A and B are shown apart, each in its own frame.
Chain A
Amino acid sequence: MAFIAAFIWCYILWLGLTAGSSGLLWSSEELIAGLVFSAVIAYTTKGLIGEKASRFLNPIKWFEFIVYSIGPLFWGMVKANFHVAWLVITGKIRPGIVRVPVDLENDAQYTILSNSITLTPGTLTIDACPEEKALYVHWIDIPEGLEKPESSEPVAGSFEKWARRLGR
């Protein structure tokens, strides 16, 4: 299954790279060459991508990823960019590193949540510690009384729920 997951991931990327070789679609020789190269790359990286990566072959999960990236993530980035622009103009900041306890199980969930926090300006993930179930986040403007947050809600909004669902 790890081979199939790596193969499909590689082949989709190949199709993206070679689109337009015959009209707007793909010529047959490109498709066959893609099969060969994807098989080679997938064979060499199947131990790396891991047995559990095949859960991302679920089309429902792809749909959720698309919804997440154009919905909550994009909207969060827009809001946070304007917020940081405001902070740059006014110059009133209160920076610090906070420990954010999170309730996640696997590596993919930690990665999705950490990258979402880093992509929204004003917060920057410094370290993810799965053994103590916490993220260390540098926050540019800590509101009063939130130096020790109880959950990830004040830092990341709804991102933790999405990360838990997407990485499952």
Chain B
Amino acid sequence: MTDDMGLIVKTMARTTIPLIGIFGAYVVSHGHLTPGGGFQGGATIAGAGILFLIAFGLKEMKKAYNKHLYSALEGIGGLVFLGAAMLGIGTAFFYNILWNNGPILNGEPGTLLSAGFLPIMNLAVGLKVFTGLVSAMAAIALYRRWKS
């Protein structure tokens, strides 16, 4: 009894996991322009991780999943969010200093490099949500066995 899906599901997962990943990155990085943002894009990319877990089985997931890396990345996501919020602490917490007189990310509204620290925060939240959800699903899948 193997714990992976059949050949067709696995081959389709090989092609669709990069597709889901790049679409999630698009949703995260355009959070200030289009619907979506950090949580939605992060959950989309986590869907790619869960597709990997389901299609290829727990044995492959154990090889690909690194507990320490995911734990560290989740912490880094939170810290980057907090760091972006602290940038304008001279005026106020969450003061969007990059938008008001920053060196970058203060382009024309509607372009990618606008809206101050919002893209940075979206990326941080996306990273945190992705790693957190994948860690949670991996932990649930690894839970010892059905009985006791």
Contacts and interface: CB of A to CB of B under 8 A. Distances in A.
Interface residues of A, number: 34
Contact of A33 (B6, B7, B112): B112
Interface stretch (A82-90, A108-116, A142-150): A108-116
A12 to B, nearest CB: 9
B133 interface: no
A128 B6 contact: yes
B124 interface: no
Contact of B11 (A14, A21, A29, A107): A107
A92 B25 CA distance: 50
A44 B132 CA distance: 17
Contacts of B11: 107-108, 110-111
Interface string A94-113: 00000000000001101100
B93 interface: no
Contacts of A27: 111-112
Contacts of A130: 7
Contacts, number: 76
A130 B64 CA distance: 26
Given A45-B17, A48-B17, A14 B7 contact: no
Contact of B8 (A37, A45, A125): A125
A87 B107 CA distance: 60
Interface string A113-133: 011000000000101101000
B18 A40 contact: no
Given A107-B7, A128-B7, A37 B22 contact: yes
B52 A48 contact: yes
B75 interface: no
A41 B18 contact: yes
Given A108-B11, A111-B11, A29 B22 contact: no
A30 B6 CA distance: 38
A75 interface: no
A124 to B, nearest CB: 12
Nearest to B63: A47
Given A33-B29, A110-B8, 4 more contacts: A17-B26, A29-B113, A41-B25, A107-B10
Interface of A: 6, 9-10, 13-14, 17-18, 21, 27, 29-30, 33, 37-38, 40-42, 44-45, 47-50, 53, 107-108, 110-111, 114-115, 125, 127-128, 130
12 contacts: A9-B18, A18-B26, A21-B111, A29-B113, A41-B18, A41-B25, A48-B18, A48-B52, A108-B11, A110-B7, A111-B7, A111-B11
